[in-house]
Amino acid sequence: MLEIVIFGAVTSAIYAMLAVGFTLIFGVARILNLAHGSFYALGAYGAYVLTSIAGLPLVVATPLVVLGVALFGMGVERVLIRPMRKSQLAVLMISLAVALVVEQALFLIFGSEYRNVPSFVDTKLNIGGVDVAGQRLLTLVVAVAAIGALYAFIQRTRLGSAILAISQDPEAAQYMGIPSDRIFGVVMALSAGLAALAGIMAGPFLSVQPSMHLLPIVKAFAIVVVGGLGSIPGSIVAALMLGYAETLVAYGISTSWTEIVSVAATLLMLVLRPAGFFGKRAAF
Partner 1 sequence: MQLKNIDRGGAVLAIAVLAILPLVFDSRYLIGVLTVAAIYGIWSVSWDFMSGLTGRENFGHSLFIGVGAYTAGFLNTVWSMNAWWSLPASVVMAVVFALIMGIPTLRLKGPYFALAMLSGAVIMQRLMLIFWEYTGGEEGINGIEPLIRSPLHFYWFVLAVLVVTTVVLVALARSRWGLILKAIRGDEATCQSAGLNVTFYKIASLVISAGVAGMGGALYAHYQLQVSPQLFAVVTSITIITMVYVGGMASIYGAIGGALLLTLMTELLRNFGEWRLMVYSVALILILFYLPQGLVAPTWERLRRSLSGGRS
Partner 2 sequence: MFGHPISKRAFTQAAAAIAASAAMLPVMAQQAPIKIGLTTAVQLQVGRDTQDAARIAIDEVNAKGGVLGRKLSFVVADETENPETGINAIKKLTADEKVDVIVGGYTSGVTLAQLPHITSAKTIYLGVGAASPAITAKVKQDYETNKYIFRVGPINAAHQARSLTEWISGHLLGELGLKRIAIIGENAKWVQDLVPILRKGATEAGADVRFVELFDTSTSDFSPLLSKIRSSEAQFLVVILSHASSDVFAKQWYDARFPIPYGGIDVKSMDNDFFNRVGGKSISQLAANFAVRAPLTPKTQPFFDEFKKRTGRVPVYTAFGTYDAIHAYAQAVERAKSTDTNTVIKELEKTSMVGIAGQIEFDETHDVKAGGKFMNMLFVQWQANGERAVIWPKALRSGTMIMPPWLSK
- The footprint of partner 2 (CB under 8 A) covers 3, 7, 11, 107, 111-116, 118-119, 122, 124, 131-136, 204-207, 215, 247, 250-251, 254-256
Which of the stretches 3-11, 125-133, 176-184, 252-260 binds partner 1 when contact is defined by CB under 8 A?
252-260
Tell me: does residue 238 bind partner 1 (CB under 8 A).
no
Residue 11 interaction partner, one of partner 1, partner 2, none, beta carbon < 5-8 Å per kind: partner 2
Q: Is 271 helix (H, G, I), strand (E, B) or coil?
A: helix
Tell me: does residue 138 bind partner 1 (CB under 8 A).
no
The closest of 77, 23, 98, 28 to 185, measured between CA atoms, is 77
Q: How far is Cα 43 from Cα 203, in angstroms, rounded to an integer?
A: 8
Residue 264 interaction partner, one of partner 1, partner 2, none, beta carbon < 5-8 Å per kind: partner 1
Which of 108, 283 has the CB closer to partner 2?
108
Local structure of residue 50 (DSSP, 8 states)? I
- Range 266-272, long-range pairs (CB < 8 A, 24+ positions): 266/218, 266/221, 266/222, 266/225, 266/226, 269/222, 269/225, 269/226, 270/225
> Residue 127 forms beta bridges with which residues?
130
Q: How far is Cα 174 from Cα 144, in angstroms, rounded to an integer?
A: 33
Which of the stretches 3-11, 105-113, 147-155, 190-198 binds partner 1 when contact is defined by CB under 8 A?
105-113
The closest of 180, 202, 179, 183 to 191, measured between CA atoms, is 183
Nearest approach, Cβ of residue 209 and partner 1 (Å): 14
Nearest approach, Cβ of residue 135 and partner 1 (Å): 28
Asked if 132 contacts 187 with a C-beta cutoff of 8 angstroms, the reply is: no
Nearest approach, Cβ of residue 198 and partner 1 (Å): 21
Residue 244 interaction partner, one of partner 2, partner 1, none, beta carbon < 5-8 Å per kind: none
Nearest approach, Cβ of residue 145 and partner 1 (Å): 31
Q: Which helix (H) or strand (E) holds 130?
A: strand 130-133
Q: Nearest 5 degrees, angle CA 159-CA 274-CA 245?
A: 90
Q: How far is Cα 216 from Cα 213, in angstroms, rounded to an integer?
A: 6
Q: How far is Cα 230 from Cα 233, in angstroms, rounded to an integer?
A: 9
Residue 182 interaction partner, one of partner 2, partner 1, none, beta carbon < 5-8 Å per kind: none
Which of the stretches 55-63, 84-92, 131-139, 165-173 binds partner 1 when contact is defined by CB under 8 A?
84-92
- Site mask, partner 1, residues 11-50, x = CB under 8 A? ---------------------x------------------
Chain residues binding partner 1 by CB under 8 A are 32, 80, 83-84, 88-90, 92-94, 96-98, 100-101, 103-105, 107-108, 214, 218, 221, 225, 256-257, 259-260, 263-264, 266-267, 270-271, 274, 283-284
